[in-house]
Amino acid sequence: MTISLLDETGAPAVTWKVKNAFPLKLQSTDLKAEGNEVAIETLEIAHEGLTIENN
């Protein structure tokens, strides 16, 4: 799996390469029509290795 943090121009600033990743937990906020909250989703993953590449 590859995760990239993008800068203002949309170019990758930092890239994480994750080996043999699989999801453990997915959580999101309840969407309410009358609310004005920011929706936040959380994904927890397990993996067998991680490398960081600074671009």
pLDDT digits (tens, 9 = 90+) for 2-11: 999 999 999 9
Could you tell me which of 47, 39, 50 has the C-alpha nearest to residue 23?
Answer: 47
Note the pLDDT of residue 18.
95
- Choose between 37 and 45: higher pLDDT: 45
**Cα(14)–Cα(47) distance, rounded to whole angstroms?**
19
Query: How many CA atoms, within 13 angstroms, populate the side-chain half-sphere of residue 38?
Result: 3
Mean pLDDT of the chain: 91
Predicted model pTM:
0.67
